[in-house]
Chain A
Amino acid sequence: MQLEQVPMKILVAMKQVPESGSPFRIDASGRWIDEADLNYTLNESDAYALEQALQLKGLHGGEVVALSVGPDRVQAVLRDALAKGADRALHVRCAEEPGRDALGTARLLAAAIRPESPDLVLSGLQSEDVGHGQTGVLLAELLGLPHASLILQVEKSATGLSVKRELEEGWLQMIEMPIPAVLAIQSGGSKLRYANLMGIKRAKTKEMRVIEAGELGVDLAPAVVLDHVSATHKQKSTQFLQGTPTQAAAELVHKLKFEARVL
């Protein structure tokens, strides 16, 4: 059988993050935000990673396994992945721990992935909350697999994969690589699907396996510690124009012409 036709087992690492419009207040410890009144959602680029996995499964068959690390609330993004078409889910359960660094999280994920021996591991490029943007690259390193990051498109080829990588300033590049491999997926490469009612119903019968992080025997001593968080200090002092839209607009245009002299 040609390699193009061999079905793949694909693991997708996904993160649940606070909704971007949420009010972020620094908590009493000063080390993280108050999580009490936050709504959570799936990290955007992880949604594209899942979409890529589901498309590959649609074309070549195989299995898609959704994976997430965190407290019980992260099961919401895993259930959503199951509803969209993932076959099963792995939840690496642990407390939300601001003291754990990106390498620690990647070690937990890698420990959960290793016994699955997947053909392909996908992650989103970067999380919208902490934004280290390293999970994919670190998973490849820890699993001893080749990787590519900033990937917009994935196709199977005679020797493995042919992926489209985004470069800076509008340039792109194709990369040929063997499988198994790890890819960090950039947002925007494909159109996202939504879960339909049938999918949501089916998701309830799919496997959601919980793995206790403590049982993975992973060294979580951080190399980097988030000491505290603070309000971002403004780089410029913004003049806010008040009043009705008409008043504010008129004053702004006046200032642009006579103060900033850019009209």
Chain B
Amino acid sequence: MSDLGPGLLEATFVLIGILLATSGIRAFLDHSNPRRVTTSAFWLLLAVIFAFGAVLPDRVAGIIVLVIGLLSLARGVKTGTFDEGTPEDRTAHARRLGNRIFAPALSLAVIAVLISTWAPFGDQSGSIAIGIASVLALVIAWALTRAPAPAVVAQSDRMLQQVGPIGMLPQFLAMLGVVFTSAGVGEVVANAIAKIVPEGNQLAGVIAYCAGMALFTIIVGNTFAAFTVITTGIGIPFVIALGGNPVIVGAVAMTTGFCGTLVTPMAANFNALPVGLLEMKNNYGVIKAQAPLAAVLFVIQVVLMYVWAF
């Protein structure tokens, strides 16, 4: 069945393309959206990238990505009004369904893990598992709620548009990682770091990588961006190349970056938003409370990465 792998993975991307195209079309028809044409273009162009990525010439895909970036830059992606239901309506459904409402979400995780552990589709099993599990979980949710078909479409569209362009950021950052690698950014950073960090010393490498993740996150306020830059520059040459298990190193590095998020005013969604929402007096109150915890977790993760990855 592993021959099916590449085809099924491509089919999964076509499915994402359909999801994006649905939002693109609905955004175009939604007159409550102040920028419906550019919003629609944004989602439709993404849909093209996903559905036809395998057959598009690189240069055409590149032009499309560039236009997507311009639409985002021009603040062209907005949302209209969506059916979110009244609180009374949602509460009534919650009473009717009880804890069964958690079943679709639970089944998604369970099905995905089962399929990827079984690994029937070769190397791509993990990604395909997510696709199959998403479809099955949606079917379960649909059967459970007995929602009318148009409501299923409308809700998918609502959530996709509410997540918005920022949801695409990880993919853009992964793309940037490839560009950095091909331009040799990793080597340049590594050469600079090598002047401070003794080469071949695993502990020094782990400390440099973790500190780099936390500090870069503090500066830019985004751990995903830090992961792209610091993993190419420090993580790979100073930790993974010395024999660190890439899976463990990658997983722990990402959460180490989150320690930086806990203490930076740059991460407004997490540290400034609650100050406003809860009407706090001290603008840095949340950061002040989180700092000692972030420090403890940081040290634990340095030790964990060093002990566990080698």
> Is B a genuine binding partner of A?
no
Seen from chain A, the residues whose Cβ lies within 8 Å of a Cβ on chain B are none
